[in-house]
Amino acid sequence: MRTCLALVPAVLLACLAAAGPLAAQGPPPPVRDNVEASAGDLRIIHLWTAAPEAFMQAWMGPTPPTLPTTTRAIRNQRLTQAILFANCMPDDAGECHLAAKVAITAPDGSAYGDPISFDALKGQATLARNVIGLTHAGIGLTIEDGEQLGRYRVELAVTDVNAGRTATSIVHIEAVEEGALGDAP
């Protein structure tokens, strides 16, 4: 038993030495957003827009809509979250209940405020299976003067209360000064 224990560290050190320094393996892969997420039958799509009126006009127009979305926040410009969904489970009364929780992380890794919980959708189920709908609620986000510029991480967890399933989406919003990356987000 002692021999085996003595060999394990030696073998481990030999493997680590052969692998070379960790830095030589290159930078970590880029963080990818999962704008679309699912849990069981529940599907969500996590979008942001700087033009909520145009977004709603496009949503109400012909299918498929061309929605004005962005992942860039210009300082002091309000972004509005849009949560699309499919396949909420109705309860015995025929009502869906999607509860949402949003947690935002600032570019330095600190929490950007407290997590926000709200009912994204509560009411009569009116959509057929696999038909995409728009929830009734989302949050707004404004990076104000004095707040950090850079990449904000936004985690959206949507729970289908009736089904007991949660789909989680993570997107990143790049906060910039006005004019930093062109005219329109």
Beta strand extents in 11-149 (DSSP E only): 36-39, 42-49, 72-74, 79-86, 95-105, 116-124, 133-134, 140-141
Residue range 145-175, pLDDT digits in tens: 999 999 999 999 999 999 999 999 999 999 9
In a domain, 108, yes or no: yes
Residue 18 inside a domain? The answer is no
Domain membership flag for residue 182: no
User: d(Cα 139, Cα 81) in Å, to the nearest integer?
Assistant: 5
The range of the structural domain enclosing residue 52 comes to 31-176
What CATH code is carried by the domain that includes residue 151? 2.60.40.3880
In this predicted structure, the answer to whether residue 18 has a pLDDT above a threshold of 70 is no
The two three-digit tokens of residue 89, written as one number: 């489970």
Check: CB of residue 70 under 8 Å from CB of residue 52.
Answer: no
Kindly report, residue by residue over 35-62, the tens digit of the pLDDT.
Answer: 899 999 999 999 999 999 999 999 999 8
Residue 181 lies in a domain: no
| 5 within domain boundaries | no
Query: Is residue 113 in a domain?
Result: yes
> Which of these, 148, 151, 23, 157, lies nearest to 85 by C-alpha position?
157
Count of structural domains within the chain: 1
Is residue 93 in a domain?
yes
pLDDT range class, residue 12, cuts 50, 70, 90:
very low
Would 169 be classed as within a structural domain? yes
